[in-house]
């Protein structure tokens, strides 16, 4: 069972409503003797909420930039939280769900997330019960159509009426801070939508990102796939391109676990600038098209056809 790093509950509109009803009946619980931030409509759960003086330039915080990252094995195990069992996704796959989003703030700021990273309420992140960690998702406020891109790095929320817990800044960008929760659509971002960072200049001839070159063939990490600088002529399917050899290796390994037949024909071609993950060569373009359709059906990944 995975250890859950926190109980991510966010800010609840229902809490403030319940408190006001109890007050009207003369049964409101006593509040602890401590200073609290001004209570907006919807209220805050426990001592969660914004800092007294949040940054003034949150509008300028950019969306998370999707990029390929290996999934952390420890976060892909089944676990139980608040009496409910969850089975996380073990690979990037199409996902779309509409439901209520909440947000969490200073109560968890600076605390470890399920990924082991430290929660930063001013970063564009989110918690999800089952999406891979790390991964990226597009969150759309249904009422306003505002959209943000967040990096999933934590688990939660653990309540049936919530689908995602957003960072303070992500909630701010969507315009849902005062309400405490909002109806949103959560969509996973797949590799074909990710834009790898491109190196500013060509790497040195004999050393690229810590990868040594010998006779035109490079190796990276344990049991690596051979990186070719002069691949055979033919028709190839390009599945992704990366500035880092390690990222290309991880991507190809992940593809091989999901499509075993692809592992036998997959390779990495280095053109002096990018590491291109490609399958082939195929004898004809029609054969390549058939394979591309099979990959698209299975992974929702649309390969590019490259002819040499």
Domains of the chain, start order: 13-192 (2.40.40.10), 196-307 (3.30.70.1070)
Report CA torsion sign: 26, 31, 37, 42.
negative
Statement: residue 122 has pLDDT above 70: yes
Most confident among 134-138, 198-202, 207-211, 259-263 (mean pLDDT): 134-138
**Residue of 83, 11, 6, 5 whose CA lies nearest to 44:** 11
Length of the chain: 308
Q: What is the pLDDT, as a whole number, of residue 219?
A: 32
Q: What is the pLDDT of residue 87?
A: 95
Check pLDDT > 80 for residue 198.
no
* Residue keyed to tokens 């055979």: 232
In the predicted structure, residue 191 carries a pLDDT above the cut 70: yes
pLDDT of residue 129: 96
Over residues 154-186, the pLDDT tens digits come to 999 998 889 999 999 999 999 998 888 999 999
Which pLDDT belongs to residue 197?
A: 37
The answer to whether 120 and 167 have CB atoms below 8 angstroms apart is yes
Q: Which residue has the higher pLDDT, 297 or 222?
A: 297
> How far, rounded to the nearest angstrom, does the alpha carbon of residue 94 sit from its chain's CA centroid?
12
Q: What is the pLDDT of residue 172?
A: 93
Distance CA 161, CA 251 (A): 34
pLDDT of residue 25: 34
Residue identified by tokens 């070159």 is 213
Residues 120-146 have a mean pLDDT of: 95
The pLDDT tens digits for 56-108 are 788 888 999 998 888 999 999 999 999 999 999 998 889 999 999 999 888 78
Beta strands (DSSP E) in the chain are: 79-81, 84-86, 96-104, 125-127, 135-141, 147-154, 164-167, 181-188, 207-208, 211-214, 217-218, 227-228, 235-242, 266-270, 275-282, 304-307
Q: What is the pLDDT of residue 17?
A: 30
* Number of C-beta neighbours around residue 256 at 10 A: 15
* 63-77, 108-122, 145-159, 252-266: least confidently modelled range: 252-266
Give which of 223, 215, 277 is closest to 245, Cα–Cα: 277
Predicted pLDDT at 301: 78
Cβ(140)–Cβ(104) below 8 Å = no
Higher-pLDDT residue of 185, 270: 185
Instruction: Write the pLDDT tens digit of every residue in 49-68.
Output: 666 677 778 888 899 999 88
């Amino acid at each position: 069972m995975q250890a859950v790093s926190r109980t991510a509950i966010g800010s609840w509109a229902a809490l403030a409503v319940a408190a006001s009803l109890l007050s009207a009946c003369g049964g409101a619980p006593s509040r602890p003797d401590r200073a609290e931030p001004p209570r907006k409509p919807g209220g805050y759960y426990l001592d969660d909420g914004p800092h007294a003086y949040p940054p003034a330039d949150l509008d300028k915080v950019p969306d998370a930039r999707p990029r390929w990252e290996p999934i952390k094995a420890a976060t892909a195990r089944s676990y139980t939280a608040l009496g409910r069992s969850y089975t996380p996704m073990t690979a990037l796959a199409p996902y779309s769900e509409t439901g209520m989003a909440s947000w969490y703030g200073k109560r968890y700021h600076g605390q470890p997330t399920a990924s082991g990273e430290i929660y930063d309420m001013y970063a564009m992140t989110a918690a999800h019960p089952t999406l891979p960690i790390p991964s990226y998702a597009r969150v759309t406020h249904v009422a306003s159509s505002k959209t943000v891109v967040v990096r999933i790095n934590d688990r939660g929320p653990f309540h049936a009426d919530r689908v995602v817990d957003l960072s303070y800044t992500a909630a701010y960008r969507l315009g849902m801070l005062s309400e405490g929760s909002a109806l949103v659509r959560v969509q996973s971002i797949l590799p074909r939508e990710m834009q790898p960072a491109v190196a500013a200049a060509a790497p040195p001839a004999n050393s690229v990102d810590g990868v040594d070159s010998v006779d035109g063939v490079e190796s990276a990490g344990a049991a690596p796939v051979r990186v070719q600088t002069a691949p055979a002529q033919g028709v190839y399917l390009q599945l992704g391109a990366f500035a880092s050899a390690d990222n290309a290796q991880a991507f190809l390994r992940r593809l091989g676990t999901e499509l075993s037949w692809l592992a036998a024909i997959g390779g990495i071609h280095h053109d002096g600038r990018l590491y291109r993950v490609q399958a082939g060569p195929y004898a004809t373009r029609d054969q390549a098209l058939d394979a591309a359709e099979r990959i698209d059906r299975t992974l929702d990944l649309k390969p590019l056809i490259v002819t040499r």
